[in-house]
Structure 1
Amino acid sequence: MLDKSQKTGSENFSREEVARFDALAESWWDPKGQYKTALAFNQARLEVIKTQIERHFGINSDVSDYSALSIIDIGSGGGLISEPLAKLGAKVTGIDASAVSVEVAKRHAAKEGVKVTYKHMLSSDVVKEQSQYDVVINAEVVEHVPDQQQLIRECASMVKPGGLLILATLNRTVKSYIIAIVGAEYVMRYLPIGTHAWRKFVKPAELSSWVGGAFELHHQIGMKLNPFKGEWTTTSSLAVNYIQTYRHRK
C-alpha cells in the first residue's frame, strides 16, 4: 500500500498534509481564533515580502501601486498573502492542493471585494501551462511536500527573466525543533500537534542549491516571536523561520 505522504507520478503533495490544512482552512482569517499567533506571523512576513517586491521593481512604498505586476502564490491556503497583494493592484493567482482552502480563500476575497484568481492545482500543473510571473511566492510550503527539490525547481521555472522568487520556510536546527515544534505545537498550542515534521525543515544552503544558477540570492532574513507580546519581528538569525529573496538573472 502506498504511504499517504509518498509522491505518486507527478503529484508532489501529501494527502495527509492536505487533510490537515483542510481542517485549518476556516480558521485562517480569524484574528481572535485559536491560531491568531500564526495570523500575526503572516502579517509580519507579508511586510517583508512587500518591501522586497517594492525595492526590486522600484515601487514607491507611499503609493504601493502593484498594477503592473503578475504574482503567483504557490500554496496560497486561505489567501493570507494573495489577497493583500491583490488589494495593492497586482494580478494575483493563488494555487493550493487543498480544495477546501481554495474555496475559503474565494469566499473571503468575494466578501472583501478583492479580485484574486484561485485555483485548485499543483505547481506542476502551472509548469505544464508554461505560465510565468513577475513574482513567485512559496511560503511555508516546501516543508510539507514529499519532493522538496522538485517544488523549488518548479517555482523557479515560473519566474520571468528579471523577476523575483520569494521563499519562506523553517531551518533544520536544534533551535527550530525546540521552538517550532515543542514550543509552538506542544506547549503553547499555536498550531495543531503534527503540523510540522522537523526532518522536512530546510537549511538555507539547500534552498539556494535547489533554486539553481539562473538566480542570485538578493536578501535573507529571519523571523522571531516575542511570546509575551505575541508579536513577530525580523532578526538576522535564520535559525528558525526565515525568508529568502532571489533575483532572476536577465
Structure 2
Amino acid sequence: MQGSSVRPEEIALFDDLAARWWDPAGPMRPLHMMNPPRAAWVLERVARHFPGPVRVLDAGCGAGLLSESLARAGHEVLGLDAGAEVIAAAEAHAAGQGLALSYRNATAEALLAEGRKFPVITALEVLEHVAGPGEFIATLAALLEPGGLLFVSTMDRSRKSFLVAKLGAEYLLRMLPVGTHTWRQFVTPAELGGHCRAAGLRLCDTAGISFAPLAGGFRISRDTSVNYIAMAQAG
C-alpha cells in the first residue's frame, strides 16, 4: 500500500503476527491487557459528546481488538489497516458476531481521496509506527467531521519509556517481540500537541496508560512518560 503514513517494514512486522493476534497469551498480550482501559476511556468521552451510536474509523486497527470493543458498545465501526494479513485475521474473528463492523485493507490517505468523513476516529498504538506523525495526524484531521473527535494513543520518547517499553518489555520480560518498537519514533505529548494544532485540532484531554502488575493489566493514570492516550477535537 502506498501513502505517506505507510512504512512497509512496519506493515510486514505486524502482518507476521496476524495469526496469533487474538491469542491473549501470544505476542499481542500487552495489547490485550491494555485494550479494556483504553477502550473504556474512549467510549466514555464519545458518550459525553454524542447522544447515541456514531460511525467510528479505527485507523491502524490491526486484527481488530479495539474495533470489536467499540462495535460491541453499539457503534458502527470501520477498521482500517494497510496490512492485508491483519485485516484477514480481523475479518475472520468478527465473522458471525453480528456486529456493525467492517474492515478495509487500505490507508487513511485512500479514504481521504474518496472524500470520506467520520465523527470519531481512533488511532491507538499507531503513531509510533507511521512514516510521518505530523502528516498522519493531518490526514486524520481532514477525515474528521466538524466537531469530530480524534483519539490517539502512543508512547512518549522519554528515558523511562526506553527502559520500560523498549528494554524491559522487549528484551527482559519478552512481553513483545524484539523489534516491535523503535524508541526514536516515539512521540512526546508536546510533539503530539504541536501536530494537533498544526492540523487545526484542539487537544482536549490526555492521560497515561500505566502497567499495573499487581492488577494483571494496565490502568489509566496521570503518568504519561511511557504510554499515553489523548483526545483532540476538530473545529
Same fold (TM over 0.5): yes
| From 65, 74, 80, the counterpart of 2:65 | 80
Which of residues 90, 110, 121 is equivalent to 1:136? 121
* 148 and 54 in structure 1: CA distance in 2 versus 1, 3 angstrom threshold: same
Q: Shift of the alpha carbon at 1:142?
A: 1.1
**Which structure 2 residue ranges, 5 or more long, are not aligned?**
none
**2:28 is the alignment partner of 1:35:** yes
**Residues 99-118 of structure 1 aligned to structure 2 (within 5 Å):** 99-118=84-103
RMSD (Å), alpha carbons? 1.7
In the alignment, which residue of structure 1 is the partner of 2:17? 24
Aligned length: 234
Counterpart amino acid of residue 5 in structure 2: N
- Per-residue CA deviation, residues 42-71 of structure 1 (Å, 9 max, x unaligned), is 1221111111111222x4xxxxx52xx111
**Percent identity (aligned):** 35
Q: CA deviation at 1:11?
A: 4.5
What is the CA-CA distance between 1:89 and the residue it aligns to? 2.3
2:176 corresponds to: 191
- Is the partner of 1:137 in helix, strand or coil? strand
Instruction: Give the structure 2 partner of residue 174 of structure 1.
Output: 159
CA separation of 1:112 and 1:204: change in aligned 2, threshold 3 A? same
Say if 2:112 and 2:142, in contact at 8 Å, map to a contact too.
Answer: yes
Runs of 4+ in 1 over 6 A off after TM superposition: none
Distance 1:105 1:20 in 2: 16
Distance 1:209 1:70 in 2: 27
**TM-score, normalised on structure 1?**
0.88
How much does 1:226 deviate? 1.9
Instruction: Return 5+ residue gaps in structure 1 as ranges.
Output: 1-7, 60-64
| Partners of 1:35 and 1:145 in 2: CA distance | 19
State the Cα deviation string for residues 191-237 of structure 1 (Å, max 9, x = none).
10000000000011111211236322211100111234422111111
Q: Whole-Å Cα distance in 2 between the matches of residues 166 and 97 of structure 1? A: 19
Kept in 2: contact 1:109–1:115 (CA 8 A): no
Q: Post-superposition shift, 1:9?
A: 6.9
| 2:212 corresponds to | 226
With normalisation by structure 2, the TM-score equals 0.94
TM superposition shift of 1:34: 4.5
Are 1:51 and 2:44 matched, yes or no?
yes
The residue that corresponds to 2:135 in the other structure is 150
Task: Mark the structure with the bigger radius of gyration.
Answer: 1
Decide whether the 8 Å contact of 1:82 with 1:92 is kept in 2: yes
1:147 shift after superposition = 1.5
Relative contact order (alpha carbons < 8 A, sep ≥ 6): 1 or 2 greater?
2
Q: CA deviation at 1:126?
A: 1.0
Q: In the alignment, is residue 241 of structure 1 matched against residue 223 of structure 2?
A: no
